[in-house]
Amino acid sequence: MLKTHACGELRLEHAGQEVTLAGWVHRRRDHGALIFIDLRDREGIVQVVVDAENAPEAHAVADRARAEYVLQVHGRVRARPEGFRNPNLPTGDVEVVAHKVTILNPSKTPPFYIYDDTPVDESLRLKYRYLDLRRQRMQRNLILRHHVVNEIRQYLNAHKFLEIETPLLIKSTPEGARDFVVPSRLHPGKFYALPQSPQQLKQLLMVAGFERYYQIARCLRDEDLRADRQPEFTQLDLEMSFVEQEDILNIIEGLYIHLVEKLLPHKRIKFRPFPRLTYEEAMSRYGSDKPDLRFGMELVDLTDVVAESKFRVFAQTVSQGGQVKGILVPGAANYSRKELEQLESHVKPYGAKGLLWMAFREEGIRSPAAKHLTPGEVQAIRERVQAQTGDLLLIVADQPDVVAAALGNLRLVMGDRLGLRDPNELAFAWVVEFPLLEWDEEEARWVAVHHPFTSPIPEDWALADTDPGKMRAQAYDSVLNGWEVGGGSIRIHRSEEQAKMFELLGITQEQAQAQFGHILEAFQYGAPPHGGIALGIDRLVAIFADETSIREVMAFPKTTSAQDLMLGAPSPISEEQLRELHLAIVLDE
Ligand code: ASP
C-alpha cells in the first residue's frame, strides 16, 4: 500500500507515530514558511503541516500542490497545541508534520469546489460526476447506500432467503411501463426486452421450489419523464412461498427495524407495529395512497353538514355527487388575506376550482363564505372539525378525486410550513386492499392496478363477471413519510385463475399464450401459493440520507431527460453496428 494509515482515522492515540498518508489536497493554506494542507481520503480529512525550515524539500513540493492534487505524505503525528484543536473535525486533535511530500498526480482546477457543499448546477455535477462524488455529501450517501444493501443481505440471509440472479435479456414482463428492448444480432428482426422487474422470474423461482428468494435487482422502464424518475433503478426484489399477506408485511417490517437500528441511530420509528390502512381509508383520511403519517391534519368530511346549505358552491357540488372536505391547520388563523389567497396555488394544479378558508380568530370567525352560511351551519362545521380559537380551516368542494388530490397536497404543504415533517421521524405504514383493476378510458378495457399476476381477495373472484371494478387486490404498498417505497402482492398461483385474469384484462387466449404461455404452463406443475414485494432502494436510501432526489444516492444517474451527461448516452451507433443488428433508422419528420 502507498499508505500506512487513513487520513480520517488519526486520533490523539497516534501522536508520536510515523505515518504515510495518501489522498487529495482538500484545501491548502499558505502561510509562507508554513503550508497547511487538509489531506482527504475516503475516511476523512487530516491537517498536514509542512515547515520550510525543518523540511525544505517537502515544503517546495507542497508549494506546488493545488486543490485535488494527489499526494503521498510521510510524517509524524503530533497533538495540536491547546487552542489550536478543531472540535469540528474527528481528527481535529492532531496534525501530521510532514518530512516528505510526493505529488502522485497533479489535477486540473476542478470545475467546482470539492471542499464544500455549495450548490452547483446539476448538469455540471452530472458531467463531472467523478468529481461530484468526491464531495462529502455524496461520499456519505453512497457509503450509506452500501451499508443499507449490506444490512438487507445480512437480515434476509439470516431469515433463510437465497439471493438468486435473474437475467437482463428477457421477454417483456409488464409493470405498466414501456419496455427497453435490445435487438438480437443472431436472430434477425427479434428483440429481447430488458426487465421492468424480475416479476415473472421470481414467481418461476417459487415454482422451482426455492421458497425464499431475494435479489438486489436493476429494473428498466421506458417511462415518460418525471422530476424524480430514472429509467433504471434498483429494487430489493423478494418472493416467498406458502405465505399470506401478513407474513410478508412482517418480514419487511422486521427488515426496516433492523436497518434503522443498525444504521440510523439518530432516527426514530414512529409506530410499531406499522399501521395498516386500507386504500380507501388512506384516500379518505389523507387524500393520498402514500400518506405522510408523521402528522395528523386529516381530511374531515363536511359533505353531510353542508348538503342542505343555501351556499351555492356547497349545494351544487353535493348535488353533483361531489364532496366538501377540509383540513384544520392549528394556529394559522391569523394568516393574512394575501397568504390565504396564495394557498390556492397549491390546490389549483390538482383541478380544484378554488379554496375556501374559515379562520377561527379571537374576534370571531372570518371567512369569505361566512355571509352565505347560516350561523347554525358555521357552528356545525366548527363542531365537526373541532376547531379551537386560533385554527384555520381550509375547504375544497369538488369531485372526490379532486378533493383528495388537492387537500392531500395542501396537507403536505401545511405540514411543511408548520414544521411537522421531521426528517428524523420515520412513519412507516402499510396501505392494503388496493383495487385490483382500473378502467383505462383510452384503451377501453380494465388494466391491473398492480400487475396482472396479483391475486384478488379470494371472495372477490365472485365479482369478476358482474362488477370487476369492485374487486379488491391482495396488494400492499409500503409507505414512508409521504413516499411509496415499495409494493407487492399475493400472487395468483393457479393456471385457470391466471387465465381468467388475462381474460378480464381483455387479453385474448392467443395473446396470453404468446406472451405468458410459460407462466400459464408453469402453474400447471404444482405452483405453490406465493407472494412477494419489491422495495425501491434508491428512494429508501434517499429518505434515510435526508435527500429529496434519488439522483443524490445513485452513483451515475441520468438527467430528468434520461441522458447520461458524463458518458454522453444515448448516442448514435455506427452504420456497421446497425447492419449487424439488421436495423435501419427511420427518424420522424
Ligand atoms: N414487481 C413488482 C414491482 O416492481 C413488485 C412485486 O409485486 O413484487 O412493483
Q: Within 13 Å and on the Cβ side, how many CA atoms surround 397?
A: 21
How would you class 569 by CB atoms within 10 Å of its CB: exposed for 0-12, middle for 13-18, buried for 19 or more? exposed
205 CA → ligand 1 middle, Å: 15
C-beta 486 within 6 A of ligand 1: no
pLDDT tens string, the chain, 589 residues long: the values are 999 999 999 999 999 999 999 999 999 999 999 999 999 999 999 999 999 999 999 999 999 999 999 999 999 999 999 999 999 999 999 999 999 999 999 999 999 999 987 899 999 999 999 999 999 999 999 999 999 999 999 999 999 999 999 999 999 777 778 999 999 999 999 999 999 999 999 999 999 999 999 999 999 999 888 888 999 999 999 999 999 999 999 999 999 999 999 999 999 999 999 999 999 999 999 999 999 999 999 999 999 999 999 999 999 999 999 999 999 999 999 999 999 999 999 999 999 999 999 999 999 999 999 899 999 999 999 999 999 999 999 999 999 999 999 999 999 999 999 999 999 999 999 999 999 999 999 989 999 999 999 999 999 999 999 999 999 999 999 999 999 999 999 999 999 999 999 999 999 999 999 999 999 999 999 999 999 999 999 999 999 999 999 999 999 999 999 999 999 999 999 999 999 999 999 988 7
Report the nearest-CA residue for atom 9 of ligand 1. Answer: 487
For 196, the grid coordinates are 421492468
The CA distances from residue 182 to 187, 192, 221, 312, in Å, are 11, 5, 13, 58
174 CA → ligand 1 middle, Å: 10
Residue 118 is predicted with a pLDDT of 87
Residue 444: CB atoms within 10 A of its CB come to 8
470 CA → ligand 1 middle, Å: 22
Q: Report the alpha-carbon distance of residue 178 to residue 201 in Å, rounded.
A: 18
Residue 226 is predicted with a pLDDT of 83
Among 239, 172, 247, 237, smallest CA distance to 208 is for 239
Burial 100-111 (b: 16+ CB within 10 A, else e): ebebeeebeeee
Query: What SS3 state is found at 147?
Result: helix
C-beta 284 within 6 A of ligand 1: no
DSSP string, 211-270: -EEEEEEEEE-BPPP-TT--SEEEEEEEEEES--HHHHHHHHHHHHHHHHHHH-TT-EE-
Report the nearest-CA residue for atom 8 of ligand 1. Answer: 533
Contact status, residue 235 vs residue 537, Cβ threshold 8 Å = yes
Residue 228 is predicted with a pLDDT of 86
450 CA → ligand 1 middle, Å: 8
Angle of helix 400-417 versus helix 279-286 axis, rounded to 10: 60
Mutation probe of ligand 1 site: the residue of 175, 179, 196, 197 with most atoms within 8 A of C-beta: 197
For 439, the grid coordinates are 378502467
Contact status, residue 479 vs residue 431, Cβ threshold 8 Å = yes
Residue 6 backbone phi and psi in degrees, to 5 = -90, 145
Going from N- to C-terminal start, the domains of the chain cover 7-105, 154-274+430-548, 295-420
How would you class 84 by CB atoms within 10 Å of its CB: exposed for 0-12, middle for 13-18, buried for 19 or more? exposed
Residue 177 is predicted with a pLDDT of 86
C-beta 174 within 6 A of ligand 1: no
Task: Please give the number of the atom of ligand 1 that sits closest to the Cα of 199.
Answer: 1
For 217, the grid coordinates are 435487482
Task: Please give the number of the atom of ligand 1 that sits closest to the Cα of 196.
Answer: 4
Contact status, residue 136 vs residue 97, Cβ threshold 8 Å = no
- Residue in the block written with cell 492515540: 13
Which positions ≥6 away from 376 have C-beta within 8 Å? none
Report the nearest-CA residue for atom 4 of ligand 1. Answer: 197
Of the chain, the end-to-end C-alpha distance in Å amounts to 58
176 CA → ligand 1 middle, Å: 11
Domain formed by 154-274+430-548, architecture: 2-Layer Sandwich (3.30)
239 CA → ligand 1 middle, Å: 10
Q: Report the alpha-carbon distance of residue 305 to residue 331 in Å, rounded.
A: 24
Residue 326 backbone phi and psi in degrees, to 5 = -145, 165
Q: Are strands 44-51 and 94-105 parallel, antiparallel or unpaired?
A: parallel
The whole-model pTM stands at 0.95
Q: Report the alpha-carbon distance of residue 398 to residue 349 in Å, rounded.
A: 14
Q: Report the alpha-carbon distance of residue 307 to residue 315 in Å, rounded.
A: 6
Query: What SS3 state is found at 484?
Result: strand
Residue 176 is predicted with a pLDDT of 77
Burial 386-397 (b: 16+ CB within 10 A, else e): ebeeebbbbbbb
Residue 97 is predicted with a pLDDT of 98
127 CA → ligand 1 middle, Å: 32
Domain covering 7-105 in this structure, CATH number: 2.40.50.140
C-beta 534 within 6 A of ligand 1: yes
- Residue in the block written with cell 375547504: 395
DSSP string, 173-213: --SSSBPPEEE-SSSTT-EEE--S-SHHHHHHHHHTT--EE
Mutation probe of ligand 1 site: the residue of 451, 454, 477, 493 with most atoms within 8 A of C-beta: 451
DSSP string, 360-417: EETTEEE-TTGGGS-HHHHHHHHHHHTPPTT-EEEEEEE-HHHHHHHHHHHHHHHHHH
Domain covering 295-420 in this structure, CATH number: 3.30.1360.30
Q: Report the alpha-carbon distance of residue 484 to residue 540 in Å, rounded.
A: 9
Residue 570 backbone phi and psi in degrees, to 5 = -75, 160
Residue 524: CB atoms within 10 A of its CB come to 11
40 CA → ligand 1 middle, Å: 41
Residue 479 backbone phi and psi in degrees, to 5 = -120, 150
Residue 117 is predicted with a pLDDT of 79
